[in-house]
Structure 1
């Protein structure tokens, strides 16, 4: 059961990381701010994978890292997945999840005295896209490469609407959301103790966000995947985030070298100099923590 829950959680994190990296590669012509991993309370806690704040509307995007054959069933609403090996599983409908989060976030905005349109969609982030044999009817479903078109299409639909938020308002709302997220975070990291993960081996190596294989090599200032040949200079950041989620709440230079499978302590020090990592000094050593 622990291994199954761990695999499910890791799969979700990998999907979210793929979504975030895709959004980082976009440059929209309208002002916007991306807020990740949102946890809020509107009479009940709810979690949103990704939120995009703009002057005229707010986008909610949910990542779904699932493959196989998919059937969106009705009455009752559910998602039926059939894997390549024939194994069938029943999941909560992403339509219900998106609609619930849009409603709860609208309620949360009302509590802040704000009124702005909110639209939602879910994104299939699996490295192997699913085959959708019976699709959703009410909520937009996307593949990563169609996100850019979807955002611009929706923005154009609201082109004649009055601006609800200035750039300063967007920055202020983003800060309020981030403060509230710290109060309402769902999981207490790291999960090793609460999930009894001492019995589960933490696999060392940098994970490829394209094919999910662990074991990227550091070559010429970038990480190179030996399986799919994908290269990226920052692939170690999502891998380090997994360390803080599953293993420990801090990491040293030596632990970083062992975990990322590198030998150069100077390289490890450079890799740990990142906006998502905080540096701390003690009498005996220097260590780093994730900035949640």
Structure 2
């Protein structure tokens, strides 16, 4: 049973907003584009694993949670957590293409692409080792006796994998069902309801927003305007009760909602009418007031000094 379903990470949404609004001349622009691709690939791999686990969860009596983030006593971000009849298994997903070598001495992951480009990364076992230790300690602190294991999964057939045996199994996704059948055959030892409640109670997502603060980017490098959802032109015009893209002629009633959401991810969750006028490039305080009143929570202040809390 899926106890916490797949959900695209808020960091992926934030990076996507930053990539579409950060001026290409900014020195961090290439880095942000790369991080967007990595975040989207990670989410895509985890979603694929969750779909497979959904098929297996009922016949194998598995409980599955996606993206569990625990901040205390030590921060950890767990891609996928599987609770079997006898243990908790942390899944470390690696959606990476090319020829992959997992070396143990020293522990490195080496990736070689078809064009010969060679990159060296930390071995996923290093991170997984920390997660297993920290989650075991977390359970101990809450008086729960629990065996914690880890596996490394490559979800797609876009990688040829060569590895030296280490502490944790390295699997491709099609091997997961047989692996879990073997693990689930052990005698029941786990009160899964207690484990699930404990993990969900302490789940606290990583929220590094606004990203301009996180990456130390001056907001003056963030492009203003309502972006067309059809062609990505960044200067839609407000005509009567809808937004019109002068480039592709696309019309949208609610295009400003994404712009306000971008503002909350990149600059601040709070906004005034004047700030919204500038960001939306809509110098009509009455129109902007109606938009903010219908989509935001009025936090404090009166008239022109009213501060609104942008809702997701």
* C-alpha separation in 1, matches of 2:229 and 2:121: 30
Equivalent position of 2:178 in the other structure:
149
Query: Mapping of 1:198-213 within 5 angstroms?
Result: 198=222
Equivalent position of 1:187 in the other structure:
207
Q: TM-score, normalised by structure 2?
A: 0.58
Runs of 4+ in 1 over 4 A off after TM superposition: 189-199, 202-205, 246-250, 285-290
Check whether the contact 1:42–1:104 (CA below 8 A) recurs between aligned residues.
no
Given the superposition, is the C-alpha separation of residues 163 and 289 from structure 1 closer, same or farther in structure 2, using an over 3 Å criterion? farther
Instruction: Report which of the two has the higher share of helix.
Output: 2
Q: TM-score, normalised by structure 1?
A: 0.61
Per-residue CA deviation, residues 94-153 of structure 1 (Å, 9 max, x unaligned), is 122222211111000001100121221011023x43111334433111111221111111
Mind listing any 5+ residue stretches in structure 2 that lack a counterpart? 1-30, 231-257, 266-291, 298-309
Which of 47, 57, 62 pairs up with 2:77? 47
* C-alpha separation in 1, matches of 2:88 and 2:116: 39
Residue 144 of structure 2 aligns to a residue whose secondary structure is: coil
Given the superposition, is the C-alpha separation of residues 57 and 85 from structure 1 closer, same or farther in structure 2, using an over 3 Å criterion? same
State the Cα distance separating 1:64 from its structure 2 match: 0.4
The Cα RMSD (Å) is: 3.3
In the alignment of these two chains, the number of paired residues is 210
Given the superposition, is the C-alpha separation of residues 46 and 124 from structure 1 closer, same or farther in structure 2, using an over 3 Å criterion? same
Which is greater in Rg? Answer: 2
Mind listing any 5+ residue stretches in structure 1 that lack a counterpart? 206-242, 251-281
* Structure 1 position 284 matched with structure 2 position 294: yes
Equivalent position of 1:133 in the other structure:
162
Per-residue CA deviation, residues 40-81 of structure 1 (Å, 9 max, x unaligned), is 145321111011123321111111001111111233211111
Residue 146 of structure 2 aligns to a residue whose secondary structure is: coil
Equivalent position of 1:235 in the other structure:
none
